[in-house]
Chains A and B, each alone.
Chain A
Amino acid sequence: MDTTTPHDTPQKSGNAGCFTMLGIFVLLVIGAIVLWPKKIPVHLPATKLMDEPLFVLFPNLPPDLGAVYLTNTFVATVIAYVLILIGAFVVGRRVRQALANEEYVLGGFSGAMVMLLEGIYNMTEATAGKWARTIFPYFATIMMLVLVVNWMELLPGVETIGLLTPVTEEVHYGYEIEPLAGGVYALASDPIKIHHGEEKAGGHGEANAHGTDEGQHALYDFRPLVRVSSTDLNFTLALALVSVVMTQVIGFRALGLGYLTKFFNFKALFTKPGMGLLDFVVGLLELISEFSKILSFSFRLFGNIFAGSVLLFVMGALAPFILPGFYGLELFVGLIQAFVFGMLTMVFMAQATHSHSDH
Chain B
Amino acid sequence: MEVAAAKLIGAGLAMIGAIGAGLGIGVLAGGAVQGIARNPDAAGQIQTNMILGIAFAEAVAIYCLVVALLLIFAV
Seen from chain A, the residues whose Cβ lies within 8 Å of a Cβ on chain B are: 42-44, 123, 296, 299-300, 302-304, 306-307, 336-337, 339-340, 343-344, 347
Contacts and interface: CB of A to CB of B under 8 A. Distances in A.
B43 to A, nearest CB: 14
B69 A44 contact: yes
16 contacts: A42-B73, A43-B73, A44-B73, A299-B59, A300-B62, A302-B66, A303-B65, A304-B62, A306-B69, A307-B62, A307-B69, A337-B55, A339-B51, A340-B52, A343-B52, A344-B52
A21 to B, nearest CB: 28
Contacts of A307: 62, 65, 69
B7 to A, nearest CB: 14
B5 interface: no
Contacts of B66: 299, 302-303
Contacts of A344: 52, 55
Is chain B's interface secondary structure helix, strand, loop, or mixed overall? helix
A303 B62 contact: yes
A299 B66 CA distance: 8
Contacts of B58: 300, 304
A343 B70 CA distance: 28
Interface string B26-65: 0000000000000000000000100110010011001101
Contact of B63 (A43, A299, A339): A299
Interface residues of B, number: 14
Contact of B51 (A300, A306, A336): A336
A304 B69 CA distance: 12
Nearest to A42: B73
A30 to B, nearest CB: 34
B3 interface: no
B74 interface: yes
A347 B48 CA distance: 12
A300 B59 contact: yes
A259 B40 CA distance: 38
Contacts of B51: 336, 339-340, 343
A296 B66 CA distance: 11
A47 B29 CA distance: 39
A347 B53 CA distance: 12
A77 B55 CA distance: 24
A256 B69 CA distance: 42
B62 A299 contact: yes
Nearest to A343: B52
Nearest to B64: A303
B18 to A, nearest CB: 11
Nearest to A233: B66
B73 A303 contact: no
- Of residues B52, B55, B65, B74, which shows the largest number of chain A Cβ atoms within 10 Å of its Cβ? B55
A123 B52 CA distance: 13
Contacts of A44: 69-70, 73-74
Contacts of B48: 123, 343
Given A336-B55, A340-B52, A344-B55, 15 more contacts: A44-B73, A296-B59, A299-B59, A300-B55, A300-B62, A302-B66, A303-B63, A303-B66, A304-B58, A307-B62, A307-B69, A336-B51, A343-B48, A343-B51, A347-B52
A274 to B, nearest CB: 31
Contacts of A347: 52
A306 B74 CA distance: 14
Nearest to A336: B51
A343 B49 CA distance: 10
A123 B66 CA distance: 31
Nearest to A341: B55
A45 to B, nearest CB: 8
A246 B55 CA distance: 21
Nearest to A297: B59
Interface string B9-39: 0000000000000000000000000000000
Contacts of A296: 59
A275 B55 CA distance: 32
Contacts of B74: 44
